[in-house]
Structure 1
Amino acid sequence: MNLLTADIGSTYTKLTAIDTIRKKIIATSAAFTTIETDVMEGFMSAYAELEQKIGVFHYDEMLCCSSAAGGLKMVALGLVPELTSKAAKLAAASAGAKVVKTYAFEISQTEQTEIFDINPDLVLLCGGTDGGNKEVILANARRLCQIDRAFTIITAGNKSASFELEEIFSASAKPFVITENVMPEFNKLNIEPARQKIKELFISRIIEAKGLSRIQQMCKTDIIPTPLAVLNACELLSKGTKNATGMGDLMAVDLGGATTDVYSISDGKPTLENVIVKGLPEPFSKRTVEGDLGMRYSLLSLADELDLDTLSQELDIDKSDISNWVKTCAGNPDTLAQPQSAEQKIEESLAREAVKIAVERHVGTYQPAYTPFGQVFALTGKDLSAVPFVIGIGGAIINAENPQYILEGAKGQTDDLIYTKPRNPKYLIDKKYIFASMGLLSSAYPDLALELMKNEITPTHY
Structure 2
Amino acid sequence: MIEVDVLVAEIGSTTTLVNAFKGLGTPCPEFVGQGLAPTTVLQGDVTVGLEGAVKDLEKRLGKAVKWKRMMATSSAAGGLKMTVHGLVYDMTAKAAKEAALGAGAVLHMMTAGFLSQSDLEKIRKIKPNIILLAGGVDYGEKKTVIENARKIAEHCPDIPVIYAGNVAAREEVAEIFSGKNRVFFVENVYPRIDELNVEPARRVIQQVFEEHIVVAPGMEKIRTMVDGPIVPTPGAVMMAALLLKEDIGDLIVVDVGGATTDVHSVTEGSEEINRILIAPEPAAKRTVEGDLGVYVNRYNVVEVLGFEEARKKFGDNLSHALEVQPPVPKNQDEVWLAEFLTEIAAVTAVNRHAGGIKHLYGPTGRYTVAEGKDLTGVKWIIGTGGALTRLPGGRRILEKIRSKTTGKKLLPGEDARVLIDRDYIMASTGVLSKEYPDDAIKLLKKSLRINDVRTD
TM-score by length of 1: 0.85
1:377-416 equivalent positions in 2, closer than 5 A: 377-412=368-403, 414=405
Counterparts of 2:340 and 2:157, CA distance in 1: 41
Tell me, yes or no, if structure 1 residue 126 matches structure 2 residue 144.
Answer: no
Counterparts of 1:57 and 1:44, CA distance in 2: 12
Which residue identity is paired with 2:410?
T
Which residue identity is paired with 2:407?
L
Tell me by how many angstroms 1:322 deviates.
5.5
Partner of 1:288: 287
Q: Choose from 337, 352, 377 the match for 2:343.
A: 352
Q: SS at the partner of 1:60?
A: strand
Q: Choose from 407, 411, 416 the match for 1:417.
A: 407
Partner of 2:15: 12
Partner of 1:170: 178
Q: Choose from 42, 46, 53 the match for 2:60.
A: 53
Q: Choose from 29, 34, 38 the match for 2:40.
A: 34
Counterparts of 2:170 and 2:341, CA distance in 1: 48
CA contact (8 A) 2:29 2:443 kept: yes
CA contact (8 A) 1:39 1:210 kept: no
Q: Choose from 202, 206, 211 the match for 1:204.
A: 211
Tell me, yes or no, if structure 1 residue 25 matches structure 2 residue 28.
Answer: no
- The size of the alignment, in residue pairs, is 441
Counterparts of 2:427 and 2:412, CA distance in 1: 23
Change (3 A) 1:304 1:276: same
Q: 5+ unaligned residues in a row in structure 1: which ranges?
A: 240-245, 330-334
Tell me by how many angstroms 1:175 deviates.
4.2
Partner of 1:242: none
Deviations 1:266-286 (A, max 9, x none): 2112556x9512102x33333
Tell me by how many angstroms 1:252 deviates.
1.0
Which residue identity is paired with 2:203?
Q
Deviations 1:391-416 (A, max 9, x none): 111111122131134324533353x7
CA contact (8 A) 2:374 2:410 kept: yes
Counterparts of 2:341 and 2:400, CA distance in 1: 10
Deviating 4+ runs (over 6 angstroms): none
Partner of 1:309: 308
Q: 5+ unaligned residues in a row in structure 2: which ranges?
A: 451-456
Partner of 1:447: 438
Partner of 1:276: 276
Which residue identity is paired with 2:8?
T
Q: SS at the partner of 2:119?
A: helix
Partner of 1:243: none
Tell me by how many angstroms 1:125 deviates.
1.8
Partner of 2:168: 160
Counterparts of 1:168 and 1:442, CA distance in 2: 37
Counterparts of 1:198 and 1:19, CA distance in 2: 29
Deviations 1:336-382 (A, max 9, x none): 323211x3333222222221222123222211234667644312233
Change (3 A) 1:234 1:338: same
Tell me by how many angstroms 1:23 deviates.
2.8
Q: SS at the partner of 1:411?
A: coil
CA contact (8 A) 1:76 1:84 kept: no
Partner of 1:340: 332
Tell me by how many angstroms 1:265 deviates.
2.1
Counterparts of 2:188 and 2:377, CA distance in 1: 33
Identity %: 37
Which residue identity is paired with 2:289?
E
Deviation larger for 117-126 or 199-208: 117-126
CA contact (8 A) 2:77 2:218 kept: no
Tell me by how many angstroms 1:300 deviates.
5.4
Deviations 1:312-333 (A, max 9, x none): 11111345336535xx66xxxx
Tell me, yes or no, if structure 1 residue 247 matches structure 2 residue 248.
Answer: yes
Counterparts of 1:194 and 1:229, CA distance in 2: 15
Tell me, yes or no, if structure 1 residue 179 matches structure 2 residue 182.
Answer: no
Q: Choose from 112, 118, 121 the match for 1:104.
A: 112
Deviations 1:70-103 (A, max 9, x none): 3232222222111133211221123232222322
Partner of 2:454: none
Partner of 2:453: none
TM-score by length of 2: 0.86
